[in-house]
Amino acid sequence: MNDIFFNAATSVESRPIKEWKKNGNRIVGYTCSYVPAEIFHAAGILPVRLRGIETESMSIGDAYFGPYICSFPKCILQLAGEGKFSFLDGTIITPGCDSMRRLDECWRKAGDDYTGIVPSFFYYFDVPHKTAPHGMDWFTEEIK
């Protein structure tokens, strides 16, 4: 049992993800807890939180972001450029910070140079940062 948890914690594409995909099911990766994963579960889609594990180089991340950006989005871009997220049917980028906001732009640009790294469903899920009524209306529309 511990092996299952260890594999899930240390692998980008763990055994349960591989089995889900092998059975013909869809998978969407997302970058932040702002994404309501329950919507994907309800649609029979496995939501997978993107993590920067298994990164061994920053050559792609540094080329598109530069050296003075947080390593988390750079690791995600690095893994995408290396094809390690090829199992994804879609990706949702959420702007939890400026570096993550730029991940959307950098990943799309890297897609010009690294064929096939941008999934066919690639969405920038913007979220309000205040709970004013107009912000909640905006968030409701974004979820729809």
Angle between helices 71-81 and 98-113 (to 10 degrees): 20
| Residue 137, pLDDT score | 92
| Residue 46, pLDDT score | 97
Measured at the CA of 89, the angle between CA 62 and CA 27, to 5 degrees, comes to 105
Residues of the chain with pLDDT under 50: none
Residue 19 lies in a domain: no
Question: Is this model's pTM higher than 0.85 or not?
Answer: yes
Residue 130 lies in a domain: yes
Residue 113 lies in a domain: yes
**Domain range holding 39?**
24-143
Residue 6 lies in a domain: no
Q: How many domains does the chain have?
A: 1
CATH number at residue 36: 3.40.50.11890
| Residue 63, pLDDT score | 94
Residue 107 lies in a domain: yes
